[in-house]
Amino acid sequence: MELRKDPITRSWVVVGHREDVAASSLGCPFCPPKVDSQQSLLRLPPQGPWQVMVMPHPDPLYRVEGEPGRKADGIYDNMRAVGADEIVIETPEHDRKLEDLSENHILLVMEAWRQRIEDLKRDLRFKYVSVFKNYGALAAQVGTHSHSQVTASTFVPRRILYELRAAREWFAEKERCVFCDIVKQEERQGIRIVDTQGEYVALCPYASRVPFEIWLLNRKHNYLFEHPRPNSNRLNLAALLRRVLLRLRQVAPAYHLVVHTSPNTIHPKREAAKYWKTIVDDYHWHIEILPIVESRSKSYSIKEVYFNSFLPEQAAERLRQLDPKG
């Protein structure tokens, strides 16, 4: 297993890994009491029986030990698949989905994401920490027990690099954050807003890649998901995410959810520090949800260009009308 860099797109690809945690005859690997004996990285709440537990991935994509050892292979680049790969078990109950949990419980799940990002970023080998959730068979969820994943990598994923470059250029030109600008215009127009709570907004992005694509953002600027603004109440975000997912499950059987936050900017190399000069002001954390609808859109077969058959304005309107009560 190793990482190879595509010299054309500059994206890193993990080659030679086959995930194999399918629920065996031994039963669900994330259910108590079996999971209680596992080595855990975090249990929340800290006292009493756990509601959310983080453990190392039983079949990790990356290995946590060693240096990446980036090297050349003729004209190509490769490195060892060094990183972290963790499972966030969102509930001890096998049959409850994320949106079935209480707002306070969802807040604990997000707190686990936050703490793991913060902790993994202390390791300077890691340039980026991804938090994501694959829900449903169409999204290649492993098993059926509700969980999300945290991975730390020695490179910044390509989609994040695109966002970072665009945000930096927008800021260089306008001295404003592109995400703040998006939220402002969307709130003014209202047509693509799905729901709001407190300082948090859920919207269907203007150029949605798939039907019912939804982003969750804080109206107030902050580049780090793992460092909430003082006085921001994340319970509002938990409540908003819950309602969004309750709506979404009425139109889509599966989704990918991903938290986009700033890369690790604590960097030993000076040139890197220069590169991230305006990141505090130009980047803005957000959560992206990419549903997979049953009538498969072409975007799944032709990845180069997204063909979304559904207008984001119609998607937002439909989602607003759906009952967000569990």
- Judged by the rule CB under 5 A, the positions of this chain that interact with Zn ion are 28, 30-31, 94, 145, 177, 179-180, 221, 260, 284, 288
Rank residues 77 and 306 by Cβ distance to Zn ion and give the closer one. 306
Rank residues 62 and 225 by Cβ distance to Zn ion and give the closer one. 225
Minimal distance, residue 16 CB to Zn ion, in Å: 28
Show the DSSP H helices in 175-233 as ranges: 178-189
Contacts of residue 45, defined as CB under 8 A and 6 or more positions apart, other chains included, come to 51, 108
Rank residues 179 and 276 by Cβ distance to Zn ion and give the closer one. 179
Rank residues 70 and 94 by Cβ distance to Zn ion and give the closer one. 94
No. of helices (H) and no. of strands (E), the chain: 7, 14
Minimal distance, residue 146 CB to Zn ion, in Å: 8
Minimal distance, residue 259 CB to Zn ion, in Å: 9
Distance CA 57, CA 150 (A): 9
Number of other residues whose CB lies within 10 A of the CB of residue 140: 12
Tokens 């707190």 -> residue: 111
Largest CA distance in the chain: 58
Minimal distance, residue 291 CB to Zn ion, in Å: 16
Minimal distance, residue 287 CB to Zn ion, in Å: 8
DSSP, res 37:
G
Contact 63, 125 (CB under 8 A): no
Rank residues 30 and 212 by Cβ distance to Zn ion and give the closer one. 30
Distance CA 310, CA 210 (A): 8
Contact 293, 251 (CB under 8 A): yes
Rank residues 119 and 288 by Cβ distance to Zn ion and give the closer one. 288
- The pair phi, psi for residue 109, each rounded to 5°, is -60, -45
Distance CA 201, CA 289 (A): 13
Rank residues 29 and 68 by Cβ distance to Zn ion and give the closer one. 29
Minimal distance, residue 65 CB to Zn ion, in Å: 29
Paired with 195 in beta bridges are 202
Minimal distance, residue 77 CB to Zn ion, in Å: 25
